[in-house]
Amino acid sequence: MWKILLVEDEPFVRRSIRSSIPWEEHGFMIAGEASHGKEALALIEELMPDIILSDIIMPYMDGIELLKEVRKNGSEAIFIMLTCANEFEYARMALEYGASSYILKLSMNDDQLIQALNKAKLQLMQQTKRQRQSRQDSLQADLPLLWKSMLGKELSGDEERRLSDFRTAEQQYGQLVLLSALSGWRSLDAAWLRERVPVTGGQEVVCSYSDMGQTTFFVWGGLPLPARFGLHEGFPIHGSPETRRNDGPVVCRTVSRERTVEEEWLHNLEMLDSAYYGGEDGGIPNGPRDMLTIQREKAGFAAVPWELEREIIRAFEDGSLAECRQKLADIWGYMRDMRMHMVLVKETAERFDKIFSRISQKAALRTEDIRHAVSHQAVQTALLANMEQYARGRGRSAYPETDHPEINKIIRYVRGNYDQDISLQAMAAYVNMAENYLSVLFKKKTGDTFINYLQQIRVSEAKFYLEQTELPVALIGERAGFANPSYFFKVFKRWTGLTPSEFRAEHKNQERP
């Protein structure tokens, strides 16, 4: 029912208009009346009418001034102006300022009034549609930030502010239902959703986010569903049996306002993990975890243990593909046992892919098969296929050679063990040389001191991880061989002029050649 405010200084005219047509039969109601513009302004703030049916010439504040003030205050109420025969110039001005139409009071009849109201109704419907689309576009634009927050990734100050605005905005739309599907390569859209679930008739706000082989729909105010649905349990999917068989695993839940959207979304994905790992129930949590736990776990298992990852890197550097395959199989077994989220598994696989590309000095291959895989084994298979491509024609890695075999031996050791505690004294013992003699010889053969050479290798490795991963900065420093974060920051800034965080921000989303 569209609300109307009637603004007219002559009481008998207001009575005449109020009794002229059956308002509710046409979808309208007279919400209030005012005798001039100033009185109307106060009522507009209180009643928030959709349509203002206003005389033009009134005391205190006329209809033109009222229209200007209403627009200045941000209201998009539709104005229908009432005018006399000698007020056409005022009527023209009203149209210029955005009035929908005007009616001559002396000749006004029911048909003219209904025609003007129907025109206003159409404008209101289009206005409502635009507003809903604008709100939907705004919510849709911020879903990637919600995804990052859910996975415990670092947000910039601007991203934090946008996410805060998202939380405020989305709660205005009442009930929120999350529906997550293990979509793989399929493109799921709102039409797919409406074919399978009982929406309420077009008044809902629907957004979706697809990444890492999953698609999640966010539906505000449109799905009258029970509070919880388990994987394949009680979810009212419509369509033919064949359609339901092909849909794959689907999880749906009504968001509890006692928890964050991230917690509820994460729990949906955890339930999809069951299907990703082959339908086993082990390791699937009974309820959503608090964000403090999520953040803590993210810092701890953003990747597989570095000891295991390092073994794969060294095997690939040495050209030992059989060993590399076996180590990858071991890691995939570890991730299965730990029930790592499929998203984290795929991030790990993509990180390995980038490392293989860098070591082989070949252009990075496409990783869509990794991202869209719907099973743990399929991710491993896709990574192995890329690894084989990177390994073709490589043999053993070529280290920069000098004309001195002992210096070459040290270089090979440093490149393979840069993450360990390495000193010139230890290297002197390694090649059975005096420390002072080795220091002079190393600089003569390589053009740099041993400490500088080691630091440059470590900084180079740190730069790669900062550019290509979202691992915590402190963890990257540890993996690159720096004893502690403060020493890492000091050395890194010495060689790059930037702190690790500044370097990451500057090179974000840039692919290393």
User: So what's the pLDDT on residue 285?
Assistant: 42
Does residue 210 have a pLDDT over 90? Answer: yes
Q: pTM for the full model?
A: 0.69
pLDDT tens across 144-171, in order?
999 999 988 888 899 999 999 999 989 8
Question: At 394, is the pLDDT very low, low, confident or very high (cuts 50, 70, 90)?
Answer: low
Does residue 99 have a pLDDT over 50? Answer: yes
Task: For residues 274-289, give the mean pLDDT.
Answer: 58
CB atoms within 10 A of CB 62: 18
User: So what's the pLDDT on residue 367?
Assistant: 94
pLDDT tens across 130-148, in order?
888 888 899 999 999 999 9
Residue 374 C-beta-side C-alpha neighbours within 13 Å: 15
Range 67-71, long-range pairs (CB < 8 A, 24+ positions) = 67/94, 67/97, 67/98, 67/99, 68/97, 69/37, 69/41, 70/41, 70/44, 71/97, 71/98
Q: How far is residue 410's CA from residue 208's CA, in Å, rounded to a whole number?
A: 54
Task: For residues 239-245, give the mean pLDDT.
Answer: 44
Q: How far is residue 21's CA from residue 30's CA, in Å, rounded to a whole number?
A: 11
Q: How far is residue 422's CA from residue 454's CA, in Å, rounded to a whole number?
A: 8
